[in-house]
Amino acid sequence: MTAAKVHFPSEGCLVEFMQGNSPVPALVLEARNDRLRLYSIAKRELALPPSRLLPWSGPFLGTGLSRQRMDEALEEHRALREAAAAGISVLELWELAQGEVSRASAEWLAGLLWTEADIDREAALGHALLSAKAFFRFSPPDFEVFDRATVEKRLAEAESNRLREVAAAAGSRFFHKLWEARNRKRGEAPPEPPEEFAAAGLGDRLKAMLLARAVEPEQTDNAALWKALVKGLPDLPYLALTLAESWGLVPEHYNFLLDRIDFERGEDWARDFAGECAEAARAAELLVGRLEPDNTPYVSVDAADAADRDDALHVELKDGVFLLRVALACPAVVWPFGGPLDKAVQKRASSLYLPEGDEHMLPSAVGRALFSLDEGLPRPALVFALRLSGQGEILHAAPELRLVRPAANLDPEGCEPALADREQEENAAPLTAKAAPHAPMLRDALALARVLRRARLAAGAVITERPDPEVLLTEDEDGVRVDIVPGPHTPSAHMLVEEVMVLCNSTAAVWGREHAVPLFYRTQNVALPREFAGIWSEPQDLARVIRSLPPATLECEARRHAGLALDAYATVTSPLRRYTDLFNQGQIIRALLREQHLTPPLSREETLALLPLISARADAAGQVQRWRPRYWKLLFFRRHGDKKWWDAVVAEENENFVVAALPWAQLTVRGRRRQFDEKIYPGMRIKVRLGKIIPLTGEIQILESAEA
């Protein structure tokens, strides 16, 4: 016999009301207009208004029942409803209802599950719906049916709440153990996560959270869970990274900056583009047989361990005229612009040269294997052929695509003796066997570089010269040891390469402007005081000049670069290392070979559309390149402690702060004005003690100063 529903409960009717978060069955003993006297399953009487009843009443059990019979009846129906509720699939019901109705009664919803739904089944369904807060909301007398997006959000919130409860106990204790173990000895195993992690499925979730917060400490995802986990731990911006290292999720000294800019390490990222790399290799092989050979004995000047040689040069001074040829590695000639590989390299933006190792922009199968200008190997090259007067005026300039075979790969240390004035320098280093055959050419190149520099200085160029120290990392039993040592002193070789490359880039910019080929230009379109022109090397001068020079920006308009004193500047000389150079080369190559029906250069509008992404990615890579060496330098100073005194030079001072430079380390530090002598001035030689060093945030402070 089915239990019938009662629409207007009166004496003898079974009803339910909410107490806490649970429905409670009761029997109506007396019904008045505004009040009901009930006997509950808890064996006590109470009075409630009808509005407190849940919207399913029945069946009618009869009047004048004994207490024993009332208890038996209430327990019987409670058990029936509990068993029926256990067999209900709330998810299945929600799938049936969502999209059809936004709200419905328990009676209507019961009709989706049963052909005949008596009051016990309807009440059981109501019980199940009251517990399924992610799918339904009780809005008397009906239930709201949430849409899919709301359900997904509420399920995520429910899961987060569940995990937070576990994390508040087991997770928090484990994180405290990780914090305590941050200075464990090398080779010592990290703390084991508690068993509750596996039962709650928490381990992988917390690992992902730590890794995410190690990269972006200020993210708001799972904020409540994170707060519960780290309660009682120091509020540090790098706390997640420290805990991840202690857990063994990342190695010591992990470079989280690469994750922050989504820069994939190593060469594994290139595996997805093996097909495009192979196609580029085939195209390059065909190109070698088709290009007109250029028999110029080009020489490159790169660090001895360079893997990507972008450029090589040859200079001849003849009858007062400089004949300059610059050969540039040319992956752009076969590069799949617009394809998946191109988009991946756009994202990388630049090669990174870090103390712990280099990260290359291009896959080695393309960059180094096919296009690096290695001596003796035939390579496609974009060649800039220039004739310049003895005063550095360009008489003729033209880009051309040629097949080159570099004569030598030299390094700056090997070139420097060849560039010395051997008649005036009695102690000049002997020429190396490799550099000796090219010494006359290198001297002509140096003569040209001096002419070019004088011309730029006369036009208002601002040139900064700073030591370039090397940060050396070595492994020992205590971990990584950091040392800062002077870099090679090769001023002539450095100026030679710098001036020739600046000339080449400015020539490319002017050519692009004159031939209406859209390029990415580096601009610094500001007016500088005339007294800023010159070569600056003292810390106080560098601080003053750099403070007044805004950073160069990437634009599609050929405008002035004030610091270089050039009317237009577009980089093309490092296509293996910078995406802007690769792109600019591609535009020039496609313009040169337009008649061979290659894809035409991108239009100005298309180039402008790419600019925000290219600029943002280049800035992101540049930030890593600046900050990561600073991290290692700060570790060096922290290792020496805060009792050691260091030589420094006052670079800037004001009423609140003093900035001191440590030129040999290429590091600036700041201290409060009251820590210094009243007579302090920019350029003053001092000694400083350094402390409060936090390498992960780049923080370092002057603790004390004294006259040198």
Q: Got the DSSP string for 572-640? A: -S-TTTBHHHHHHHHHHHHHHTGGGTPPPPPPHHHHHHHHHHHHHHHHHHHHHHHHHHHHHHHHHHHHT
What residues does CATH 2.40.50.140 cover in the chain?
640-707
Averaged over 605-612, what is the pLDDT? 96
Q: What is the pLDDT of residues 643-696, one digit of tens each?
A: 999 999 999 999 899 999 999 999 999 999 988 888 899 999 999 999 999 999
pLDDT on residue 404 = 97
pLDDT confidence bin for 431, thresholds 50/70/90: confident
Decide if pLDDT at 224 tops 60.
yes
Q: What is the pLDDT of residues 353-371, one digit of tens each?
A: 999 999 999 999 999 999 9
pLDDT confidence bin for 13, thresholds 50/70/90: very high
Alpha carbon separation from 265 to 209, 259, 261, 268, 340 (Å, rounded): 21, 9, 11, 8, 18
Decide if pLDDT at 621 tops 60.
yes
The CATH architecture assigned to 640-707 reads Beta Barrel (2.40)
What the block records as the tokens of 115 is 């052909």
Decide if pLDDT at 428 tops 70.
no
pLDDT confidence bin for 289, thresholds 50/70/90: confident
What the block records as the tokens of 675 is 């820590």
In the predicted model, what is the mean pLDDT of the chain? 91
The dihedral region occupied by 501, where left means phi > 0, alpha psi between -120 and 50, and beta the remainder, is alpha
Q: What is the pLDDT of residues 684-698, one digit of tens each?
A: 999 999 999 999 999
Report the relative pairing of strands 394-404 and 293-294 from DSSP bridges. parallel
Q: What is the pLDDT of residues 628-647, one digit of tens each?
A: 999 999 999 999 999 999 99
SS3 content of the chain, % helix, strand, coil (to 5): 40, 25, 35
Q: Can you tell me which residue has the tokens 């987060």? A: 160
3-state secondary structure labels for all residues of 357-384: EEECCCCCCCHHHHHCCCCCCCEEEEEE
Decide if pLDDT at 285 tops 60.
yes
CB proximity list for 698: less than 8 A, separation 6 or greater: 627, 630, 631, 634
Averaged over 234-256, what is the pLDDT? 92
Q: What is the pLDDT of residues 498-547, one digit of tens each?
A: 999 999 999 999 999 999 999 999 999 888 888 999 999 999 999 999 88
Decide if pLDDT at 255 tops 70.
yes
pLDDT on residue 600 = 81
Q: 89-118 in b/e burial notation, b at 16+ Cβ within 10 A?
A: ebeebbeebbeeeeebebbebbeebeeebb
Question: Quick one: what percent of the chain has pLDDT higher than 90?
Answer: 76
Q: What is the pLDDT of residues 176-185, one digit of tens each?
A: 999 988 877 7
pLDDT on residue 387 = 97
pLDDT on residue 595 = 62
Q: What is the pLDDT of residues 258-283, one digit of tens each?
A: 999 999 999 999 999 999 999 999 99
Whether the upstream peptide bond of residue 59 has omega within 30° of 0, thus cis, is: yes
Q: How far apart are CA 325 and CA 14, in angstroms?
A: 100
The dihedral region occupied by 248, where left means phi > 0, alpha psi between -120 and 50, and beta the remainder, is left
Longest dimension (CA), the chain: 129
Whether the upstream peptide bond of residue 141 has omega within 30° of 0, thus cis, is: yes
Averaged over 465-474, what is the pLDDT? 93
Strand intervals (E) in 443-528:
462-464, 470-476, 479-485, 521-523
pLDDT confidence bin for 429, thresholds 50/70/90: low
DSSP string of 132-155? -TTTEEEETTEEEE--HHHHHHHH
* Exposed/middle/buried for residue 250 (C-beta within 10 Å: 0-12, 13-18, 19+): middle
Averaged over 374-384, what is the pLDDT? 96
Averaged over 338-343, what is the pLDDT? 95
pLDDT on residue 427 = 58
Q: What is the pLDDT of residues 124-178, one digit of tens each?
A: 999 999 999 999 999 999 999 999 999 999 998 887 777 777 777 788 888 999 9
Q: What is the pLDDT of residues 57-101, one digit of tens each?
A: 999 999 999 999 999 999 999 999 999 999 999 999 999 998 889
DSSP H/E element including 346: helix 340-348
pLDDT on residue 497 = 97
Of the chain, the end-to-end C-alpha distance in Å amounts to 103
pLDDT on residue 426 = 54
Identify which of 104, 158, 166 has the alpha carbon closest to the alpha carbon of residue 132.
Answer: 158
CB 650 within 8 A of CB 684: yes
pLDDT on residue 423 = 46
Q: Can you tell me which residue has the tokens 């990584």? A: 480
The dihedral region occupied by 359, where left means phi > 0, alpha psi between -120 and 50, and beta the remainder, is beta
SS3 287: helix
